[in-house]
Amino acid sequence: DVKVTQSSRYLVKRTGEKVFLECVQDMDHENMFWYRQDPGLGLRLIYFSYDVKMKEKGDIPEGYSVSREKKERFSLILESASTNQTSMYLCASSLGTSGDNEQFFGPGTRLTVL
């Protein structure tokens, strides 16, 4: 079974802190994604990566950056955390170069910014 793990289930940070969220997948998937999920808004794509060192902006990239130095690891960085970045963050991965492959999600990180 594909396993996607995220570094923390719960995280509390202060405004202005730099925050790192780590995601690791163990099935050699090419594509990796970062979403945030807020009530009533569904999952919104922040960034995605279709190869090592490649990244593409999603729908809401402002205030975030990403890093993919190794195929199995995709990191989300909040440069200067703000209270409106309090949310559930979900990482996902998918196989292959076409876009119609199912996505495998991690358990999520619930981030609170005070």
Residues that bind another protein (CB under 8 A): 4, 31, 35, 40-45, 48, 50, 56, 58, 90, 92, 94, 99-100, 102-108
Pairing of strands 10-13, 109-113: parallel
> C-alpha distances in angstroms, 77 versus 23, 93, 95, 111?
11, 18, 24, 12
Q: Which residue has the tokens 């979403």?
A: 35
**What does the alpha-carbon distance between residue 2 and residue 110 come to, in Å, rounded to a whole number?**
22
Closest distance to another protein from the beta carbon of 98 (Å): 8
Considering the complex, what minimum distance in angstroms separates the CB of residue 106 from another protein? Answer: 5
CB of 108 to another protein, least distance (A): 5
Nearer to another protein, 84 or 97 (CB): 97
